[in-house]
Amino acid sequence: MSTNNKNVCDTCVLLVDYTDITITELGRFKPNPQILWDMQGAEAVTCYNFATREEQQQHYYPRLSLSSVLRHGGFSVKLKIEFSTPKLLHFPPNNLEEVCDADFEDVISILALRLHEMGVDASSQVLRSAQVVRIDFGKNVLVKVAPCVILQYLNKADISRRLDCTKVSYRNEGHSLHFLARHRNVVIYDKLKDIQKARYCKSRAVSSENAQTIDMAALGSSQYLRVEIQLGNSENIRQAISKAGLPVPELTFQNLFSSQICRAITLVYWNEILAAVRYQQLSEENSADLFKRLLDAKYKFLKALQLVGLVTILKTMGKRELRLHAGNSFSPAIYELFRLINRLEPQNNWLQPDLDGITAAINENQIITLTKGNRDGFC
């Protein structure tokens, strides 16, 4: 077991050039990859390679696909490798348990072995330097209250405006909350409920792969909330890293297998959610009571009036739309009002200790480990 216990990424999709690999069993890909050359790089064709049912009973395997990419003067063929790093490392496969920075070489070794068993040979260096075209960062958090209670509470806030989402979905009887945008999703869900749902209806789970072999009885009364940021292309990965205040590295698997990046991205999006919740909490207070509370807290009369007005506007408009209407009038003084709002403690906020606990868990970013000695072997 590694000494660094900080959580890293979950699902990754790597892109590797065909010239950097050797396919030893072409017949495992359907249709046969020769079609990619016969059709001169037709992008409509994808050749898939999935593990057999017998193989899946022994180990967790990635999903492979070959496709062509048009380029000036011709085309190139790329291998796409999609897998969950925790499921690759743990046996039986599950991603309730998490992996950390120091697990990277084990992940590379097992991934190379599973690829070999699927008829694809790729060196460790090729996998380390592979381009990441999709990645999911997040954290499983042990919570003291039912996750559905937290999700119902969050669903009341206008979070979509904060996250610039095109669609919000509250699914599965209140056990998952999705904020969807083009190539970037923020998903918060009851991790154990999702595992149970995937066992009998994969299409209704957050991930169809979440039908995992976990001894639910052994978990007792433990409850886990999953906060996940799904970044679906290179542009959104770069934007998320920059938004988290970190320098943007080359988007290789080795660079993005990072607890620092995972923690920073998960935390910045979770804080956006909490900011929306705070505005919602303050807007639910009686305006006159909030005004008097600010005066009692020694705010000047005009400042208290400005804060109450801003809270009232945010209830129906949101910060992004307000900025659009303000144009060049969105001055440092207005930013100062937002800073003051963030310092206000809403009244009757009974769930705040639990929200603070989630923030602390994301910030600490310690991996979840259920049992010892359950790593998948190199065999």
- Name the least confident of 116-120, 229-233, 328-332: 328-332
Which amino acid, one-letter code, is at 125?
Q
- Name the least confident of 13-17, 29-33, 68-72, 317-321: 317-321
| 345: three-class secondary structure by DSSP | coil
Q: What does the pLDDT average to over 316-342?
A: 80
| In the chain, domain spans | 11-275+360-364, 285-345
Q: What does the pLDDT average to over 60-78?
A: 88
pLDDT of 336 over the 60 cut: yes
Listing DSSP states for 3-43 in one string gives: S--BB---EEEEEEEGGG-EES-GGGSBS-THHHHHTTS-T
pLDDT of 204 over the 60 cut: no
Cα 299 from Cα 301, distance rounded (Å): 6
DSSP letter for 377, please: P
pLDDT of residue 366: 96
pLDDT tier, 357 (very low <50, low <70, confident <90, very high otherwise): very high
- Name the least confident of 36-40, 52-56, 77-81, 240-244: 36-40
pLDDT tier, 291 (very low <50, low <70, confident <90, very high otherwise): very high
- Name the least confident of 41-45, 73-77, 210-214: 210-214
pLDDT of 347 over the 90 cut: no
pLDDT of 49 over the 90 cut: yes
Q: What does the pLDDT average to over 193-222?
A: 67
Cα 166 from Cα 260, distance rounded (Å): 28
Cα 33 from Cα 22, distance rounded (Å): 13
pLDDT of residue 316: 75
